């Protein structure tokens, strides 16, 4: 896995081994059949994730919660990082799990285990407003 952390305006995409099937390309839990293809990578064994990325907190990078696809990372096991700084989610203390139901993703950070500095919507709105007044 090549982890390139050059930061530019362009988002780059990395191809990584599929966490859900561990790169095998087959359904790891044999829900349909043990020979059926992995629903995350479509049997290719690799998935594309925007880089830089980090391990998904909710599933610990495995892409699965018990036998279900992790809702936080969509089964890829990785979460793309935002360009700005992130902070540990105070709701789940960085575990990405809903405290009352650990198989569910934390609602505050959506299972990532971290949140953006400020909060997404408000900072985006503030940015747009600033841009609007300047123009
Ligand atoms: Zn797969
Ligand atoms: Zn996950
Ligand atoms: Zn959280």
**Residue 134 phi, psi (nearest 5):** -70, -35
Q: Quick one: which ligand is closest to 110's CA?
A: 3
The C-alpha atoms of residue 20 and residue 59 are separated, in whole angstroms, by: 10
* pLDDT the model gives residue 60: 97
Distance 14 CA to ligand 1 centre (A): 15
Neighbours of 75 (CB within 10 A): 25
The C-alpha atoms of residue 64 and residue 70 are separated, in whole angstroms, by: 5
Q: Which residue has the tokens 């600033």?
A: 130
Token pair for residue 72? 């936080």
Q: Quick one: which ligand is closest to 40's CA?
A: 1
pTM (predicted TM-score):
0.76
Mean pLDDT by 10 residues, the chain (135 residues): 51 92 92 82 96 96 94 96 91 96 94 79 53 57
> With pLDDT > 90 as the criterion, what percentage of the chain qualifies?
66
120-134 residue pLDDT tens: 544 445 555 555 655
């Amino acid at each position: 896995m090549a982890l390139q952390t050059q930061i530019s305006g362009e988002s780059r995409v990395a191809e990584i081994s599929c966490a859900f099937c561990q790169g095998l390309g087959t359904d790891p839990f044999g829900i349909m059949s043990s020979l059926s293809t992995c629903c995350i990578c479509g049997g290719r064994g690799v998935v594309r994730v925007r880089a830089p990325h980090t391990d998904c907190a909710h599933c610990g990078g495995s892409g699965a919660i018990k036998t279900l696809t992790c809702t936080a990372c969509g089964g890829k096991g990785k979460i793309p990082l935002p360009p700005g700084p992130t902070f540990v989610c105070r709701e789940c203390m960085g575990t990405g799990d809903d405290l009352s139901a650990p198989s569910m993703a934390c609602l505050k950070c959506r299972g990532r285990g971290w949140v953006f500095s400020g909060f997404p919507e408000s900072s985006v709105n503030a940015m747009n407003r600033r841009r609007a007044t300047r123009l």
